[in-house]
Structures are given as structure tokens and as C-alpha cells.
Amino acid sequence: MNEIWLQELREFIAIPSVSADPAHQDDVRRAAEWVRDFVKRAGGEAEVVRQGKGDLVIGDLPASTNGGTAPTVMIYGHFDVQPPAPLELWDSPPFELAERDGWYYARGIADDKGQLFTLLKAAELLRREGALPVNLRVACDGEEEIGGHSIVDFIRDDERGADACIIFDGGMSRADRPEFGLATRGLIGFHLKVRTGERDLHSGYYGGAALNAIHVLVQGLSAVIARNGLLPDQLRIGRQPFSQVEVDSIKRLPTGWELIDEAGATPLDPKAEEEFYDRTWAEPSLDVNGIRGGKPEFVNTTLIVEAEARLTIRLAPGQDLETIAAAAEKLIRRAMPAEAEVELIRENSAPPGVFSPDSPAIQLGLEAFKRVLGVRPLLVRVGGTLPIYPALAAKGIPTIGTGFALRESNVHSPNERLRVEDVDRAVAAASELYRSLAALG
């Protein structure tokens, strides 16, 4: 990376665009303006668009020649970042780009400002040479880290579309093997509230005769949590099994044993390690994320009449959000006594997203990466939920979702980092992607 690039990246990183903190709202806007100005300097058009509560940067960088017939490629990244706290765990200030031992350190360097920078830089360089062969549409997000849906609304309402989309906001399990994420899991959140009486009671007088809300809550939750490692069949309907390419990719990834051990976690059941990727990529899962009731901090003998829990289901690729939400609701309600007062509120949700590995854009992308990095990327899934994936899939826009963060990049943690060499590799890969996607025309 040369001095000018470094200076630009340093300037972008220095804007503390923490979307979760209202005190940094202006900084998120400044980061948006930084992206807008970059696109304009590169010879394009762009503006900061207020959509709902968030800022998007929407713009165009036209192909150097043949703009009328060249294919259109959307590039997506987000310019907001996670809060840097706890600050005392950082070895250098989070918003000052630092270089140590072959790594760049800063909040956002891997997730995602540093990676977004490489997509923009590659576009600018090609423009400057008069060699950008595709029309680029820039769609950047300022509320990715707070689960905002401005970008999803934008894609849903957008009529121009694109022939492909490129997202550099991910990583790879091993530095020598890039990965394209072809599918994401969906998400449904529930807030479960139980009431069984007007006030807490003496368990000596009423215990054994009156309903305890905590027991009711536990009965409801027991009906949906995994048994022998799997959710009830009603919650597994529609899931799409792995293709042969995916099975082959998984053989080259870290094993479930390594991943569970490294996380200091306990396997869910005896098969969980062996079936790690099935469980997290091809099966739905359910987690109770919080539970409240009674007074566990004190010795007491109370019969509790109020309890609540929050739970989320990760939907497997292929599953229908409404079908699974309805099935979960039925299982939970059926397991609880009808006399209890139960509120089951649906909260945030996003469907799973799936792209076909056979689409020409993804095939061209694989070849482009291989030319630059010397190795064909693995085709994998993502266990998490990225609402932009199903939004793009619904519009029929094949998406190359990839990136250069590593497991040791400390994403969302103190000392976030990206390897110095990967900035150059990412710019070269982005550039080759733009060139190769010209064949979609």
C-alpha cells in the first residue's frame, strides 16, 4: 500500500462512526460523506441518502467505455463500526490506524471500513486508467452494526437492480484459502411473557395448588429447545441440504472439534463436533437469550407469578420464515397450561438467503480470485444472519460475499486487525472481479 492510500485509509478510520452510540451520530454522517466524496473524486456521482433512521451512500461509478452495454455491479460495504469499549484492552487508540508486526490495528479495519476501502480503491484505480469495464453502483450502509434495515428497504424498492453484487465484509477460516458465502441463516426473535396471578404468594400456603409462572415458562421453552442435538421436526421443515461442492468445502475447513475447543465451549451432544457445520449451517437452531423471574439472589420461598424470556431461532437456508414462526408459536403455547396468561410477541426477523453456486457471476468470481490469490475460494455458508443477502436474492442479484478478515482479526473485539498484505490482496482481487464480471454483458 502506498503513502497516499495509507493516508486516505487513516483518515477514514479516524472518524469514530459508532452507530450504536447516539453521541456519534454526526460521525456516522461524516463517514458517509467521506465515502460519497471518495466516489465523486473517482469520477462518479454519489449522495448521502436518509432512509428511515439511517444514512446510506448511494452512487454510480460508470464504466470507462461502453457504459450503455456494460453490466452493472453493485458494491456494498458498511461505514459504521462497533463501539470500541472496553478501551483499556486496546494496545493502541482504536481510531488511530496503527501498524505492528504485519497487521493494521483499528476499529473498523476489518469490519468493515478497511474492506470497503479496498472495493472503492480498486474502482478508483481502474477509473483512473480508463479501464473500468463495468458500471458500478455503490450502496453503502451506516447502520449495519445496529441491525438497521435501510439497505434492505433500499434494495426492495430499487428498480434499477444489478447483474451482480460484491460484498467484502467477511473473512476466511484460513489465510491461504478465501471463501465465498453462498447462504445465510435467517432469524426470528420472540419475547415470551407469562403471568399466573395478581401477586407473588407464600409457597407454604399455595405451593402445590397455584400455578407458578416460572414453571410455565420453562414448560414452554422445553417444547422448542433441541433434544439429541436437533430441534423438533416441526421447526426443521424446508431446510436445504448441502450440495456436493459445500460438502467438499467443509472438508477443508477447521474441524468442529477445533472450533468448539477454541471457543472454550461445551458440545451440545456427542455428535455436535462431528456435525458442527450441519448444525450451524444447514439446521435451524434455537437459543434462549435471557430469562427472568423470581428472586434467585435471595434465599426465599415465594411462589412466582411473573416470568419472561427472550429467544431467537436461526432459520436454515431454504426455510420459510412464516411457517417456522407459526410452528414455534404452536409448540410453545401447546406446552403451557391454558389457564396461564401468555404473551408471545414476535420481534426482529429476517429470512435466510441462498445463492446458486452455478450462477455465472459466482463462477466468474471464483476464477478471478483464483487468478489473483492462486487458489479457488471455498463455497461455504454463513451461520449468522445478514438481511442484505435475502434482499438481494429476492431481486435475483447473484452475490459474491467474501472478505479478508481472519479468525484472529478480533472483529467486534479490542485490537481489531487486518493483515497489511491483505489490503493489497483485497484491492487486487476487487479489481480482477470488476474486470471479470464485464463478461456478464
Cβ atoms of 323 and 349 within 8 Å: the answer is no
Q: Which is nearer to Zn ion, 20 or 268 (CB)?
A: 20
In angstroms, what is the minimal distance from the CB of 411 to Zn ion?
Answer: 7
In angstroms, what is the minimal distance from the CB of 81 to Zn ion?
Answer: 9
Give contact residues for Zn ion (rule: CB under 5 A): 111-112, 169
Beta carbons within 8 Å of 440's beta carbon, 6+ residues apart: 71, 134, 163, 164, 360, 361, 364
Count other C-beta atoms under 10 Å from residue 280's C-beta. 19
Q: Which is nearer to Zn ion, 196 or 409 (CB)?
A: 409
Give the H or E element holding residue 72. Answer: strand 72-78
Q: How many CA atoms lie within 13 A of 351 on its CB side?
A: 17
Cβ atoms of 33 and 48 within 8 Å: the answer is yes
In angstroms, what is the minimal distance from the CB of 3 to Zn ion?
Answer: 27
Q: Which is nearer to Zn ion, 111 or 179 (CB)?
A: 111
Quote the cell numbers at residue 406. 481472519
In angstroms, what is the minimal distance from the CB of 188 to Zn ion?
Answer: 22
> What b/e readout covers 241-267, taking b as 16+ CB neighbours within 10 angstroms?
ebeeebeebbeebeebeebbeeeeeeb
In angstroms, what is the minimal distance from the CB of 113 to Zn ion?
Answer: 9
Cβ atoms of 187 and 314 within 8 Å: the answer is yes
Please count the residues of the chain: 441
Q: Which is nearer to Zn ion, 77 or 365 (CB)?
A: 77
Q: Which is nearer to Zn ion, 190 or 389 (CB)?
A: 389
In angstroms, what is the minimal distance from the CB of 112 to Zn ion?
Answer: 4
Q: Which is nearer to Zn ion, 55 or 169 (CB)?
A: 169
